[in-house]
Amino acid sequence: MTLIDDKRTLRSAMLAWRGGLDEADRRAAADGLLATWRHEQPVETPAVVSGFWPMKDELDIRPLLVELVNQGCQIVLPVVVGKGQPLVFRAWRPGDALEAGVFNTLQPKASREALDPQVLIVPLLACDREGWRLGYGGGFYDRTLAGLRTRRRVTAIGVGFDAQLVDDVPHGASDERLDWLLTDRRACAFV
């Protein structure tokens, strides 16, 4: 099998697993993630922190985003500009209206200020104990992290359900490692 095939196989398995979770498990995981963040405090605040608006059956990080705003952080959300391009991050505050983006995402309006984050909270399908992350296959976060890391120190924190920590994530030369993984039950630092 090729690297693409290996990633596709793991991606399918993780999407199927995550799709089978019930609403009570999802709510408990969101609460658990917030508790893990509070316990670990993986970054100093305040900071410019990129989050993401959860879609479909992703772990709901909105309670964490509100917590970070309460700690004085400026939250930014990702915007897909185009295929093969890095993400742009626009300012967001709780209560701000969002608009439809690419891939059924929700994002801040174009009129909102674009900022480079110091901390990126990154969605994932799987992560291994070395910090390799499996995303949805578009390479947006890998390109973005690679570009940001040439300009400044940034911290990439993957977030997911605890079962998304797996033994091995297939990875290649263009993949970027995470600095942290936070789940509803644990934290792993890869630095």
Classified as helix, coil or strand, 126 is: strand
- What's the structural domain count of the chain? 1
| C-alpha span between 134 and 167 (Å, rounded) | 12
The pLDDT score that the predictor gives to residue 191 is: 72
Burial class (CB in 10 A: 0-12, 13-18, 19+), 10: middle
CATH number of the CATH domain containing 115: 3.40.50.10420
Q: What's the pLDDT at 88?
A: 97
Domain hosting residue 15, numbered range: 3-189
160-187 pLDDT, tens per residue? 999 999 999 999 999 999 999 999 999 9
- Region 130-147 average pLDDT: 97
Helix axes 23-40, 62-70, angle to 10 degrees: 30
pLDDT per residue over 60-70, tens digit each? 999 999 999 99
